[in-house]
Chains A and B, each alone.
Chain A
Amino acid sequence: MRDKVLAAPKDLDPLSVEPPRLEDALSRRINADPESVERGLVQLVLTIVELLRQLMERQALRRIDAGSLTEEQVERLGTTFMELDRRMEELRDEFGLDVEDLNLDLGPLGRLL
């Protein structure tokens, strides 16, 4: 893998930036014991919340770009997204989930986020 790195900052080990997730990806199966069912459900719910959050945020950025929002509206939107972002981070931590976990591979349709 290391010889595949063509360019990376000299002071950084490129492989330390993203821990190897290959084993994770290959072993990600639904395990039907009660505890992991709960975690799986939380993962699914958070994934959908995260999808909506990102879609709304993108839409808000577009509207700011278009200049169709007042300063007050921008501030209110920003505060809401920031709060949501913070809360999502807390929930991820609580359930031991990673940013990457809140994504679904939809097969031929690609990834959700």
Chain B
Amino acid sequence: MIRLIAITDDASMPPAPLHAVGCGRLTAICAPVDEHSGGADSLWRHEELVESLMETRDLLPVRFGTQLADDEAVAQAVGARGGQLAQRLELVRGAVELALRVDERGAAEPPLTGAATGTEYMQLQADRVRNGRMIHDELAALARETTMLPGPELLRAAYLVERSNVDAFVARVRKLQEANPELVLICTGPWPPYSFADEERA
């Protein structure tokens, strides 16, 4: 068995113990099976691997834990979706993923039960939705593509941002934070474009 790490169209050799499998126009970067896989450590190792590859090439990260029998199976699996993957690769070219979580300050639990009347409760709910939407719209203007992720926060979203635009994006997050001291905005990255690699997720 081998692990599938990333799909790219850069044919250069990845550093050992990785190896490249040609799949038509695309290249699959594979690794030997991690014997201690399954824990959080191996997930972080996977993440570091993808990030180091991402420094020198555009790629689609493959979901952690994807294993196939051998090079031939990889070539077949990737070849069968070649067109789709090439399209996705074009979408993420030159860009990274930035993640954002927004919540109310001190909101480990939703504080909405503090409302005095039903109308006030609905009002607070509507404000929450509106606040999240406003922040999302403002940041989306700086991104090539966005996706809202489900979660208990006011807003949890991922943004596909051009590398040259990352600083401007982070500056905008800081400005939004200053303008909304009652909220907590946490922006992390740059990540491989996990949220934009699959059609279903993006």
Contact indicator B200/A109 (Cβ below 8 Å): yes
Contact indicator B152/A78 (Cβ below 8 Å): no
Residues of B within 8 A of A23 (CB): 40
Contact indicator A81/B121 (Cβ below 8 Å): yes
Residues of B within 8 A of A8 (CB): 184-187
Which residues in chain A, 46-79, are within 8 Å of chain B measured between CB atoms? 57, 60-61, 64-65, 71, 74-79
User: A24–B98 Cα gap in the complex (Å)?
Assistant: 23
Q: What is the interface of chain A mostly: helix, strand, loop, or mixed?
A: helix
Contact indicator A110/B201 (Cβ below 8 Å): yes
Contact indicator B122/A80 (Cβ below 8 Å): no
**Least CB distance, B54 to chain A, in whole angstroms:** 13
Known: A6-B173, A6-B189. A79 touches B150 (CB 8 A): no
Partner among B101, B109, B200 whose Cβ is within 8 Å of the Cβ of A110: B200
Known: A23-B40, A75-B117, A89-B113. A9 touches B184 (CB 8 A): yes
Interface centre among B152, B166, B189 (most CB of A within 10 A): B152
Residue B170 CB within 8 A of the other chain: yes
Contact indicator A110/B150 (Cβ below 8 Å): yes
Residue A111 CB within 8 A of the other chain: yes
5 residue pairs, one from A and one from B, having the closest CB atoms:
A78-B118, A79-B118, A78-B122, A99-B152, A7-B187
Residues of A within 8 A of B122 (CB): 60-61, 64, 74, 77-78, 81
Partner among A6, A64, A80, A113 whose Cβ is within 8 Å of the Cβ of B150: A113
Partner among B39, B109, B200 whose Cβ is within 8 Å of the Cβ of A99: B109
Residue A17 CB within 8 A of the other chain: yes
User: A26–B36 Cα gap in the complex (Å)?
Assistant: 14
Known: A108-B200, A110-B201. A86 touches B113 (CB 8 A): yes
For chain A, give the interface size range.
Answer: 35 or more
Partner among B109, B117, B149, B173 whose Cβ is within 8 Å of the Cβ of A89: B109
Contact indicator B126/A61 (Cβ below 8 Å): yes
User: A109–B200 Cα gap in the complex (Å)?
Assistant: 7
Contact indicator A75/B184 (Cβ below 8 Å): no
Contact indicator A7/B119 (Cβ below 8 Å): no
Partner among B40, B110, B149, B177 whose Cβ is within 8 Å of the Cβ of A26: B40
**Least CB distance, A14 to chain B, in whole angstroms:** 5
Known: A17-B103, A17-B186, A64-B126. A7 touches B177 (CB 8 A): yes
User: A103–B150 Cα gap in the complex (Å)?
Assistant: 9
Partner among A12, A65, A80 whose Cβ is within 8 Å of the Cβ of B184: A12
Partner among B109, B119, B189 whose Cβ is within 8 Å of the Cβ of A78: B119
Partner among B101, B121, B149, B185 whose Cβ is within 8 Å of the Cβ of A82: B121
